[in-house]
Chain A
């Protein structure tokens, strides 16, 4: 089985405070991989190290078989890695259309063009509008992102990560703070958008995790406790002790 993403004994610390400890994550091509773990387990830090926000203090990250340790977010994005944020991070003052268009410009490699009006790039506009339809935000096309409802704003957040057309998308708690209905809708949207792609998702909601994931990795105190298919994780005694049991209390 091909590994699209692999970390090899990854360590990270914040001024001496170990947050990641010997993490060996393996994500297979095409799978939906969930990372779970109690608060403070290092999930977001792991994301930040993989996506190039931080350099790991030790270890290496392999993406599509290439050593990408220490590459910046822009470089990883160009190699085909997308990422959404736990705290919504859109361009709030710009319209929904402009938010998504940013991703379309990126996927087309239009980065420094200063000789054409961006509104005049018909294929960019068309592709952006197609995406808006697919994510059901075409009615909100010209609204500034900041006035969207919470659920829709979160959808935009995830869709922006997808708009660059990544092969691997890393979603950091896409359903954080959503109501039951919003969550249901978001899960459906994520499923639809990530069709045929590899996805790594951090998620707290166990219903979401068990309904969406092919494989689950449990992170605990900065290190991997277990990794495997959902049924296996559900039965794993160590996981139950460390995490699931705690949730049921």
Chain B
């Protein structure tokens, strides 16, 4: 029972920290945190494919961008759109895109999967630049009204206030994280892990690999859409560079690798490390990508299990050292 209590206490503490965060650190760092949280949850959705199903996608940005553009265009074109439905629209649009791609992509794996996504992702990028009447071309869609969070007759919260938006974004992203985590613990989640380790055996045990993959693919796409949607609201602007650029696809892969593919929280730590490094290096040099590239190479060469893997190793060593100490004391 104490373990359970410790869990609740730490959750409560985390909520408290998030609650007071903007008051303590101010709006600038609150915004840095929101940017990090968006990136972290977006990386989690990628890890559902990469870490949990063994599918490497080089075009995950298409779901992020589609969610972002859907929300932005909906707010820009339709007046009086409420907040939650536009976020939901981002989810649905990305799921629809995933459903269209499903019949092609679930049949393949490995490099072909990665490359097909690179190609489709790039197609979306070109479309976002070329379909000017819809996407505003290179300028993107921006300056759309940000609706208030409202339950008619009960409450209406102004979302243009950065403080309010902080809480809203953290709540949506937190809930998304919990849903993704819960998914990994469900029966289909364990089948998903089975597909990563041994798809043939999964098939022979009576599960249809392609269908299971399709469900996970749509789920990952949908939540990537939500993060894109929050991003569009956060920036009040979405352009092809921020939504569909190839770096938007590579970013979460790097964060996941650096943080550790093997665990649920790896991408969160990886995103944190990247956010901190980006924040720090950009103060001194414009060569952020160079630094990122070197870090990525270093991690793959020397710590291929990533941050979480290294932590696990350190913990093992610490336990072993303590054991030796204890035995020595006997």
Contact between A and B in the complex (any CB pair below 8 Å): yes
Nearest residue (CB) in A for B206 is: A77
**Which residues of B (180-195) have their CB < 8 Å from a CB of A?**
182-183, 185-191, 193-194
Selecting from A32-40, A109-117, A188-196, A226-234, the interface stretch reads A109-117
Which residues 111-151 in A have Cβ within 8 Å of B in the complex?
111-119, 121, 124
CB-CB under 8 A for A105 and B191, given A78-B206, A111-B207, A164-B205: yes
Q: Is A93 an interface residue (CB 8 A)?
A: yes
The residue on B at minimum CB distance from A83 is: B204
Inter-chain contact A113/B186, CB cutoff 8 Å: yes
Question: Which of A101, A103, A114, A160 is within 8 Å of B188, CB to CB?
Answer: A114
Q: Mark A80-94, 1 if CB is under 8 A from B, else 0.
A: 001101000111111
Contact of B194 with A117 in the complex, beta carbons under 8 Å: no
CB distance from B290 to the nearest CB of A (A): 35
Question: Are A51 and B186 closer than 8 Å at their CB atoms?
Answer: no
The minimal Cβ–Cβ distance linking A109 to chain B, given in whole angstroms, is 9
Chain A residue total in the interface (Cβ 8 A): 38
How far, in angstroms, from A124 to B187 measured CA to CA in the complex?
Answer: 10
CA distance A89 to B205 in the complex (A): 12
With beta carbons under 8 angstroms apart, the residue of B182, B183, B197 that contacts A92 is B197
Q: Given the interface contacts A72-B203, A73-B204, A74-B207, does A91 sit within 8 Å of B198 by beta carbon?
A: yes
List the A side residues contacting B203 at CB < 8 Å: 72-74, 77
Specify which chain A residues have a CB less than 8 angstroms from the CB of B187 in the assembled complex. Answer: 105, 110-114, 116, 118, 121, 124
Residues on the B chain within 8 Å of A110, using CB? 187
Report chain B residues within 8 Å CB of A101.
Answer: 190
In the docked arrangement, what's the CA distance between A72 and B189, Å?
22
A73 to B209, CA, bound (A): 10
Q: For the complex, give the distance between the alpha carbons of A80 and B191 in Å.
A: 19
B191 / chain A contacts, CB cutoff of 8 Å: 102, 105, 111
Per a CB cutoff under 8 Å, which of B186, B193, B211 touches A115? B186
Interface contact B206-A74, CB-CB below 8 Å: yes
Q: Point out the residue from A78, A91, A114 that lies within 8 Å of B186, measured CB to CB.
A: A114
Contacts of A44 in B (CB 8 A): none
Q: Is A183 an interface residue (CB 8 A)?
A: no
New contact pairs (15) apart from A105-B190, A114-B187, A121-B187, CB-CB < 8 Å: A74-B206, A83-B204, A90-B201, A92-B197, A102-B202, A105-B191, A106-B206, A114-B183, A114-B188, A114-B189, A115-B186, A117-B182, A118-B186, A160-B201, A164-B206
